[in-house]
Every structure is written in C-alpha cells, then in structure tokens.
C-alpha cells in the first residue's frame, strides 16, 4: 500500500486499479441508507488548504466523515499564516495538536512532497492540488468516471486500454492535465492534448501524448471523452491568447463543435467552469456531460484513497 498520494506519475497501474476498485466498494456504500463506515473512527485528518476550493475540499470532508474520521478544516485565509507564520511552524503546530493525516492544497508545486519528506510530521500526506504540478485525486475520479461509463458493471480490475481521451485548453497551468496524462497512460488510454502553442508547457514533448493545436481536426477522430480545462486567468501574468472570443472560437467546446460531436463522446470538465469561454452551457448541461458524475465520484475516490492509505488495506468490510 502506498504511504502517501503525491502524484499519479509514481502510481503503478496495479495501485491505481486497486484504488479505483476500492472506490467501487465505496460507491456501493454510498447508496445505502447508512453511508458511514467506522474505518477511521478515532483518527483526525486535517484539510490544509492554502488555495481556494469548492469541490475538492468539500468532497474530502464528506469522504472523511463517511469514514467516521474527525475533521479539521484549515484555510490559510483567516489563519495565522496571514500574520506571517511559516509553513513549517504551521505543520509543527498541527503535529502537536495530534493529526493522523494531512490533505493539502498549496499554490507552490512540490509543497506536499516537501511535507512527506521532512521530519516535521510523520503522517500520510494526500495531495489535493499543488501549484501547476499535480492533482492526483482529480485524475483518479476522472478515470473512475471514464471506466464506469466505458465498462459499466464490468469495471472492476480493468484499466482504460484503447480508450482515446482529448484534453483541451490551458495545459500550461493545469495540474489536472498533468495528473491525467500520467494516470491515463498507466491505465492504457491514448491521450491527445489540444491547446494554443502558448498554453503547451515546454516539457510536454516528453509526455506520452500526441500534441495538437487544431481542435476540429482532433475531434474528427474517434474520441471516447473530451476533457475541457478551465482557463486559469489567476495564474496568467502574460497574454496567452488575443481575447476570450478568439480562445473560444479556437479551443472552446462551442455550440457548433458540440453539435458536431459524436453522441457517444463523453464531455468532461474538472470544474470550476468558465461557461461561454472553454465550454458552452449546452455541452455542459447535456446528456453526454458527465461533469456532475465527476463531482459525485470524487467522494468515492477520496474515501478509497484515505481508507487505503490510513488503514493499509484495500479490503472494504460490507457490514
């Protein structure tokens, strides 16, 4: 069992499938009247958020409560971080307060790795998104959603071999894209990344992907899912495209592109969405959109990750 979840790049195919299978068990529990498991009773987990979040923070909290853990929610805003307290001193404080696991979101790439490597605290660390580096639980919930839609009831034990996923948009700033590229590769899927030249990172030529700048051409191939990414304006200090209209016309899932899309192609987005920029509302709210399934599945995947790492087993008791 893995001691921490820091990235999907270092997650083996076997470990990833085990986490997805355990998430299947959690989904079954999630449909019972009593959704709770006593698995983490007596454990205290801190959600340490140095960056804003809606989906990730809330779904981690729901997952922790379903596993009967005690939950501490820490937001840098409103904490002593605003008085200048260092990352190290914050962690030492949490250690003395007695936490058994840390879920961390941080604007600096590598902050979860630092926490896992230093001796400030010796508990499992789960990366909930670090800078432009990785967002592993997002990629796992995306894979869970894809596997469920592609393989249905026969999902257990399977990867995504032969599936074709197109990831579109602000790849440069996207930790979601990076985590998905590695995880989809481990699971056997083919990935095409589409973006303006300015929004493709320099190192992407070494990733296991096909790079395209032409969305219409990419969408003319058979595609199992198109994953639209948020334009991360808050991370853009330069102008990466002329204006919102040109971005939408070139790289958005517009009304016209959605109308031409195969009805079998799944529409995905990690959220939050910029409706009208990278995705039109018709596509986001359509029957082939699995965006809300992604949100719901996030709870099962995060339960699986916390359960597996903190108990050291992937076997879920069904009592």
Question: In the complex with ligand CP, which residue's Cβ is closer, 141 or 215?
Answer: 141
**Vertex 253: Cα angle to 248 and 256 (nearest 5):** 95
In whole angstroms, how close is the CB of 270 to ligand CP at the nearest point? Answer: 4
DSSP for 233-253, please give it: GGG-SS-SSS-HHHHHHHHSB
At a CB cut-off of 8 Å and minimum separation 6, what does 191 contact?
164, 165, 166, 167, 180, 181, 184, 185, 208, 209, 210
In whole angstroms, how close is the CB of 29 to ligand CP at the nearest point? Answer: 23
> Are the C-beta atoms of residues 219 and 261 closer than 8 Å to each other?
yes
Question: In the complex with ligand CP, which residue's Cβ is closer, 103 or 115?
Answer: 103
Query: Checking DSSP bridges between strand 225-228 and strand 210-212, what pairing results, if any?
Result: unpaired
In whole angstroms, how close is the CB of 70 to ligand CP at the nearest point? Answer: 22
Return the closest-CA partner of residue 167 out of 189, 149, 152, 188: 189
Question: In the complex with ligand CP, which residue's Cβ is closer, 175 or 257?
Answer: 175
In whole angstroms, how close is the CB of 92 to ligand CP at the nearest point? Answer: 26
The residues of the shown chain that bind ligand CP, judged by CB under 6 A, are 53-56, 129, 138, 270-272
In whole angstroms, how close is the CB of 56 to ligand CP at the nearest point? Answer: 3
Return the closest-CA partner of residue 6 out of 119, 120, 104: 104
In whole angstroms, how close is the CB of 248 to ligand CP at the nearest point? Answer: 21
Question: In the complex with ligand CP, which residue's Cβ is closer, 144 or 219?
Answer: 144
Question: In the complex with ligand CP, which residue's Cβ is closer, 138 or 192?
Answer: 138
Question: In the complex with ligand CP, which residue's Cβ is closer, 140 or 316?
Answer: 140
Question: In the complex with ligand CP, which residue's Cβ is closer, 129 or 169?
Answer: 129
Q: Which residue is nearest to ligand CP (CB)?
A: 56
In whole angstroms, how close is the CB of 174 to ligand CP at the nearest point? Answer: 10
């Amino acid at each position: 069992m893995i001691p921490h979840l820091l990235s999907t790049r270092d997650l083996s195919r076997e470990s990833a499938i085990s986490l997805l299978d355990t998430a299947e068990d959690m989904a079954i529990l999630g449909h019972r009247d009593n959704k709770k498991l006593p698995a983490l009773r007596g454990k205290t987990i801190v959600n340490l958020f140095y960056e804003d979040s809606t989906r990730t923070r809330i779904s981690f909290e729901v997952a922790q409560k379903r596993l009967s853990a005690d939950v501490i929610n820490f937001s840098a805003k409103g904490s002593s971080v605003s008085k200048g307290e260092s990352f190290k001193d914050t962690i030492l404080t949490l250690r003395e307060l007695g936490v058994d696991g840390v879920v961390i979101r941080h604007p600096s790439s590598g902050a979860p790795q630092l926490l896992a490597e230093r001796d400030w605290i010796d508990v499992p660390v789960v990366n909930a998104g670090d800078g432009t580096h990785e967002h592993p639980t997002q990629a796992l919930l995306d894979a869970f959603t894809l596997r469920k839609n592609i393989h249905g009831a026969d999902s257990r034990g399977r990867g995504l071999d032969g599936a074709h996923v197109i990831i579109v948009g602000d790849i440069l700033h996207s930790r979601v894209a990076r985590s998905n590229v590695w995880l989809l590769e481990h699971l056997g899927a083919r990935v095409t990344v589409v973006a303006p030249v300015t929004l493709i990172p320099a190192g992407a030529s070494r990733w296991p992907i096909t790079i395209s700048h032409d969305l219409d051409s990419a969408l003319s191939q058979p595609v199992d899912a198109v994953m639209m990414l948020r334009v991360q304006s808050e991370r853009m200090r330069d102008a990466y495209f002329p204006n919102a209209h040109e971005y939408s016309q070139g790289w958005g899932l517009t009304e016209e592109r959605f109308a031409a899309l195969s009805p079998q192609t799944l529409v995905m987005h990690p959220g939050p969405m910029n409706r009208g920029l990278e995705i039109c509302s018709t596509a986001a709210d359509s029957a082939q959109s699995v965006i809300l399934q992604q949100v719901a599945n996030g709870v099962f995947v995060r339960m699986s990750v916390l359960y597996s790492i903190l108990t050291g087993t992937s076997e879920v008791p069904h009592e």
